[in-house]
């Protein structure tokens, strides 16, 4: 059986500042490094290791992937461009407090995050679903069995989960928070509502 584990990166500088990072490439904070070690230690304690580790090319994800791989004695992470965060378009670098002002009414409010839907130049969530499908097809073609770790980001990570389980993306946006260093399991014997493996105490969005 193929098991796909999906992790979000640890806290980075933009997260602390409340900045919409998208493709911005800021490193992990000290807290982000701690979060990566925490999920890595929990994974090791659960006797989970990975046959291969794929990471987004952005440094916040790759740093997280390296820590998890080293702790669990898994292979050195490989870059997978399809795991990169959503392109935020004109919202890149804006403060999260600007979302409603600049993007309403085309927003969806969740408990913790307000999602913008289609600002100029941004990938939409249907765009991300298509990218997620390409990614999942690629992984399933290359790996019939095994434990695979994908280290990615908030928006695209949620859409990988959504596409895997064939869910409604609008509902998923408000269903749960995919926090820093949370770990999900996507597999045939793990239902959508049982996918969280580890959920960390969050200090930011």
Tens digits of residue pLDDT in 88-139: 999 999 999 999 999 999 999 999 999 999 999 999 999 999 999 999 999 9
Mean pLDDT, the chain, rounded, equals: 95
Q: What is the mean pLDDT of residues 12-21?
A: 96
Whether 176 is covered by a domain: the verdict is yes
Residue 94, in any domain of the structure = no
Domain assignment of residue 147, given as a range:
2-18+26-88+123-198
Q: What pLDDT is recorded for position 202?
A: 55
* Within a domain: 204: no
Does residue 44 sit within a domain?
A: yes
Q: What is the pLDDT of residues 171-188, one digit of tens each?
A: 999 999 999 999 999 999
Task: Establish if 113 belongs to a structural domain.
Answer: no
Which pLDDT score, from 0 to 100, does residue 190 have? 85
The Cα–Cα gap between 23 and 65 comes to 17
Question: Which residues form the catalytic set?
Answer: 9, 85
CATH of the domain at 148: 3.40.50.1240
Exposure of 187 in the CB half-sphere (CA atoms within 13 A): 20
Residue listed under structure tokens 């019939």: 144
Cα 94 to chain centroid distance, Å, stands at 20
């Amino acid at each position: 059986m193929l098991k796909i584990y999906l992790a979000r990166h640890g806290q980075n500088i933009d997260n602390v500042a409340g900045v919409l990072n998208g493709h911005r490439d800021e490193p992990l904070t000290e807290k982000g490094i701690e979060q990566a070690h925490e999920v890595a230690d929990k994974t090791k304690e659960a006797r989970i290791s990975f046959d291969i580790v794929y990471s987004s090319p952005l440094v916040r994800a790759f740093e997280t992937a390296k820590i998890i791989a080293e702790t669990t004695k898994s292979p050195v992470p490989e870059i997978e461009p399809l795991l990169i965060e959503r392109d935020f378009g004109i919202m890149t670098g804006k403060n999260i407090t600007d979302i409603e002002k600049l993007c309403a009414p085309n927003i969806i409010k969740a408990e913790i995050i307000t999602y913008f839907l289609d600002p100029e130049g941004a990938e939409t969530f249907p765009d991300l679903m298509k990218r997620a499908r390409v990614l999942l097809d690629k992984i399933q073609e290359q790996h019939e069995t095994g434990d695979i770790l994908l280290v990615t980001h908030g928006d695209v990570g949620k859409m990988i989960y959504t596409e895997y389980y064939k869910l409604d993306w609008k509902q998923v946006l408000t269903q749960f928070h995919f926090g820093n260093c949370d770990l999900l399991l996507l597999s045939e014997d793990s239902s959508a509502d049982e996918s969280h493996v580890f959920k960390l105490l969050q200090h930011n969005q």
